[in-house]
Amino acid sequence: MHTIVSGKVEKGLEESDIVLEGEVHMGGQSSFTLVHVYADESVLISHGGVEMGQGLHTKVIQVAALACGILHEQIHIDETSTNKVPNSQPSAASMSTNLYGMATLNACEQILARLAPIYDRLGPGASFSNITNAAYMHRVNMSAQGFYVVPNDRCACTVVELDVLTGDFHVLSVDILMDLGASITPAIYIGQIEGAFMQGFGLFALEELVWGDDGHPWVKRSNLFTRGPGACKIPSANDVPLDFHVWLESNRKNKFAVHSSKAVGEPPLFLGSSAFFAVKDG
């Protein structure tokens, strides 16, 4: 922690280092994926994860496309349903990509192993369409169920400017370095890191639960006053750091995850605490 004093304004700098163990104890932590390859080289994938804007479908498609050597447009994701993929785990704890990406890769590898004799016979110049059509004619099973059974390092450096008379502060700059292994979709990951940091900044530095108690007699007893953005201060566009930089550590292998990827959902949330400590210790 370093503090620079200039009249009534102080600048504080704080670093936060986080290690997250990527595991949730919910009775199994395993995943299934059902993959169908058709004679026209199209692929249909059913997995047990929930797409909620985090890009899970995109990542599963990328895993299958890379494994099969085909275009993303040839791969389709079916709706999540337990009549196709049973006993799915919650899409939580930053594990969905690893769980369903690895299960998808497992299913694709099973199918590719069955297609290998046809590939050897047709030669390296054969397209995936030629191979799947020949496999259909030779009655090769091109469906498979993939199964997979299962820490991240990151740090942030935050500089804030604090008015010691009013308590008003601004985040001037944030530098984040995250170890995400060989990230599958770096652009999506960087967006998630930036969003999670701002969410953590609000959680640790802005938002406060105000209950009706002796300290807040104007609130009905035991009632929560800060129930929404009208009473609870959440981060706005003006709170985004003037300088916001995110770097991804590259070429860090992770043999327990699909293509060496690592969790990105929750880990950067805790990095927002660096802003809180920069203000508090300032």
Q: Of 19, 18, 1, whose CA–CA distance to 10 is shortest?
A: 1
| Mean per-residue pLDDT of the chain | 81
State residue 125's pLDDT score.
Answer: 86
User: Regarding predicted confidence, which is higher, 87 or 177?
Assistant: 177
* pLDDT per position as a tens digit, 110-124: 999 999 999 999 988
Q: Catalytic residue at 21?
A: no
Class of domain 30-149: alpha beta
* pLDDT per position as a tens digit, 220-263: 998 988 888 788 888 888 899 989 999 887 666 656 555 656 66
Please report which confidence band the pLDDT of residue 273 belongs to, taking 50, 70 and 90 as the band edges: confident
User: HEC profile for the chain?
Assistant: CEEEEECCEEEEEEEEEEEECCCCCCCCCEEEEEEEECCCCCEEEEECCCCCCCCHHHHHHHHHHHHHCCCHHHEEECCCCCCCCCCCCCCCCCCHHHHHHHHHHHHHHHHHHHHHHHHHHHCCCCCHHHHHHHHHHCCCCCEEEEEEECCEEEEEEEEEEEECCCCCEEEEEEEEEEECECCCCHHHHHHHHHHHHHHHHHHHHHCCCCECCCCCCCCCCCCECCCCCCCCCCCCHHHCCCEEEEEEECCCCCCCCHHHECCCCCHHHHHHHHHHHHHHCC
User: Regarding predicted confidence, which is higher, 12 or 169?
Assistant: 169
* Residue 282 CA: distances (Å) to CA of 11, 105, 113: 7, 49, 61
Annotated active-site residue in 10, 14, 194, 266: 266
* pLDDT per position as a tens digit, 146-198: 887 765 566 888 888 888 888 888 899 999 988 776 677 788 888 889 999 99
CB atoms closer than 10 angstroms to residue 38:
15
State residue 117's pLDDT score.
Answer: 94
Q: Is the pLDDT of residue 75 over 50?
A: yes
**Residue range(s) of every CATH 3.30.365.10 domain in the chain:** 2-22+152-280, 30-149
Contact 3, 164 (CB under 8 A): no
Q: Is the pLDDT of residue 204 over 70?
A: yes
State residue 36's pLDDT score.
Answer: 95
State residue 71's pLDDT score.
Answer: 92
* pLDDT per position as a tens digit, 34-46: 999 999 989 999 9
- Does the reported pTM lie above 0.85? no
Tell me which architecture the domain covering 2-22+152-280 has in CATH: 2-Layer Sandwich (3.30)
Angle formed by the axes of helices 96-122 and 128-137, nearest 10°: 80
